[in-house]
Structure 1
């Protein structure tokens, strides 16, 4: 059977270098919101084939579980990279509402589920919401310490309860507005909407039961 090897800290991002809807300008009159999540600890070496996928899912106020159903799912990110390759952001175009950092998936085989303590935040229509900077290295380390480093093609391993997003919110990043604004001007020219800071708040959510095992979120509940 085919095996996939996790190579700690020799991982790269995979994705399209534009926002989700690359054909339509994103402005203050857009019905959706745009979320930017900065990705830190991403090595420049692109010889290792891997994938980081931060999952952002709807979590309405008072809900016990993220609202990820089989119809709409969670908004998927595109990776936007600066011309010099030194800055990378996950960009999500999504309906306005309350969202939560649900998990960080690595190579589609491993994941850190943030059910035990995560961040929830609001996304507004017609605005670019900057969530902050997510450090990837701590999650690679905790996944590597708690799961097998070799996975069969059909295997999926998740660390539950203990992972916490290694997130620096905008309030911890002096000068973020000028830096992110310059990045958008250079790398996201179709975006012409106000840039605002997210106000992350602490949150937890319940996990679900899949067909065979516990899962972070079940799309079919």
Structure 2
């Protein structure tokens, strides 16, 4: 797979353009929950890439401009492989709304995505997210439109043209491996999450920006 220099090495997207985010992501070994905890957590196995990317979640169907979103960042790695990522979340219904590459390129998943439930005192294991399929589609769209390089406050957002993300690795052995993924003695709280198909509408801010959600 070939990545353009601009598409791989761009700076972080200007804060003024992204929705308000709640940053509370932790590595799995730092998740500290008990069965009596008021919060829960999500745990996902993701592929490593030679660039940073991120997952953007919304809660209870509330998304769009100035809505609170929940980011899960995956740092770049020179070596391909997989990593578990996790973060503590308040109980509720969460949906994967979009993916970001390097903070400058995003793909809105309004035509097809998934949602899941976070319960108090439990860790919802989603499985292995095939992020590469979505990221490759995003890269192809950016290249087709000549948007491989972003500067200043500019960014690229794709709508309607990306397949729904696929989640694999949800067998019993995958769940067992997740429970042993340095979960800070919280492995017994890890449960396989029920994933439901979802879609959502998008809104516009004036005529210039189309909002994902």
Please state which band the TM-score falls in when normalised by the shorter chain: 0.7 to 0.9
Secondary structure of the equivalent of 1:75?
strand
2:212 paired with 1:216 = yes
- Post-superposition Cα deviations, 1:185-215, rounded to whole Å, max 9, x if no partner, equal xx33163551111111111111121352112
What CA distance in whole angstroms lies between the structure 2 residues aligned with 1:190 and 1:209? Answer: 45
User: Which runs of structure 2 are paired with 1:1-221 in the superposition (5 Å)?
Assistant: 5-7=6-8, 18=27, 22=30, 25-40=32-47, 42-43=48-49, 50-60=51-61, 66-67=62-63, 70=66, 73-77=68-72, 86-147=81-142, 148-169=147-168, 171=170, 173-183=171-181, 187-189=182-184, 191=186, 194-211=189-206, 212-217=208-213
3-state SS in 2 of match to 1:145: helix
CA shift digits 1:73-124 (9 cap, x unpaired): 12333659xxx99541221211111111110111010011110111111111
CA separation in 2, counterparts of 1:79 and 1:151?
Answer: 20
How far 1:134 moved relative to its partner? 1.2
Distance, in Å, in 2 between the alignment partners of 1:125 and 1:93 is 10
CA distance in 2, matches of 1:144, 1:159: 10
Provide, for residues 165-195 of structure 1, a one-character-per-residue CA deviation record: whole Å limited to 9, x for no partner.
4322454x45111111111xxx331635511
Q: Secondary structure at the match of 1:163?
A: coil
Contact persistence 1:17–1:78 (CA under 8 A): no
Is the contact between residue 38 and residue 133 of structure 1 (CA under 8 Å) also seen in structure 2? yes
Pairs aligned (count): 187
* Aligned structure 1 segments of 4 or more residues deviating by more than 6 angstroms: none
Distance 1:17 1:56 in 2: 15
Structure 2 CA distance, aligned partners of 1:25 and 1:68? Answer: 31
Give the structure with the larger helix fraction. 2
